[in-house]
Amino acid sequence: MASETLTTRDPTTGRLAESRQRAGDESIAAKIGDPGPLGLAAFALTTFVLSMFNAGILGDAAEPVVFGLALAYGGLAQLLAGMWEFRTGNTFGAVAFTSYGAFWLSFWAFEQFYAGKIPAGSLGQGVGVYLVAWGFFTAYMFIASLRTTAAIATVFALLTVTFLLLGFGALDGVTALTRAGGWVGLLAGAMAWYLCLAGVLSSVFGRPVLPNKSLVKA
């Protein structure tokens, strides 16, 4: 029905083909569902578990459990969610999920293959600049998130603070900053879980169930 309406309004050959393609894209997007909750779940769980160690709640000896999560869930699952967001036309979600999926994959690769090759005296500097750079990226994504919803903007605000605290904690060797970054990371993970649940419930019930107020007036 949408394709016929578009055809009637624009009978020009080139534009007609474009209109039909757009209608087909919308149909495919509806069939694949919303990849957002998957990306949020992958981000939330991996961030939450790592933050348990950064906050000092769990001992460092068990920290390697994060690496499998970073590879399979935070990395690959979130990367796939980002690719599907491109397919549905959500540039913001695509950039966010793909980038943070790549972050977790790079984190896994660093710990598995490269961390041991860096002299102990330079390790903090390397990790610190890596995390601070991700903090800068997250900061400008936070600016973009101000055109979305309050909950999404809150996740990016918390994540920006998390990266910067962890980064400067590593650069300066200040454990208190790392611990603070861990606690803020726990909040960021919890908020992302809330958004994931809101998305899943909206899909199941066919209507919004949990509050997720837009920051942009209609």
How confident is the chain (218 residues) per 10-residue block, as mean pLDDT?
39 34 49 89 97 96 95 97 94 97 97 91 94 98 95 97 98 96 98 94 86 70
Residues 2 and 56 in one domain: no
Residues 174 and 121 in one domain: yes
Residues 74 and 40 in one domain: yes
Residues 90 and 175 in one domain: yes
Q: Is residue 213 part of a domain?
A: no
Q: Tell me what pLDDT residue 216 has.
A: 64
Burial of 218 (0-12, 13-18, 19+ CB in 10 A): exposed
Q: Is residue 191 part of a domain?
A: yes
Q: Is residue 73 part of a domain?
A: yes
Q: Is residue 211 part of a domain?
A: no
Q: Which residues contact 130 (CB under 8 A, 6 or more apart)?
A: 110, 167
Residues 3 and 80 in one domain: no
36-54 and 150-172 are packed helices; what angle lies between their axes, rounded to 10 degrees? 30
Chain segment 72-108, per-residue pLDDT in tens: 999 999 999 999 999 999 999 999 999 999 999 999 9
Residues 79 and 172 in one domain: yes
Residues 25 and 40 in one domain: no
Cα 175 from Cα 190, distance rounded (Å): 23
Residues 122 and 108 in one domain: yes
Q: Give the residue carrying structure tokens 């809150």.
A: 154
Q: Is residue 164 part of a domain?
A: yes
Residues 5 and 51 in one domain: no
Q: Tell me what pLDDT residue 33 has.
A: 83
Question: How many C-beta neighbours within 10 Å does residue 57 have?
Answer: 12
> Structural domain tally of the chain?
2
CATH code for position 184: 1.25.40
* Domain boundaries, position 157: 34-205
Coil vs helix vs strand at 149 = strand
Residues 53 and 136 in one domain: yes
Q: Tell me what pLDDT residue 30 has.
A: 52
Residues 20 and 60 in one domain: no
Q: What's the one-letter identity of residue 45?
A: L
Residues 13 and 74 in one domain: no
Cα 214 from Cα 180, distance rounded (Å): 29
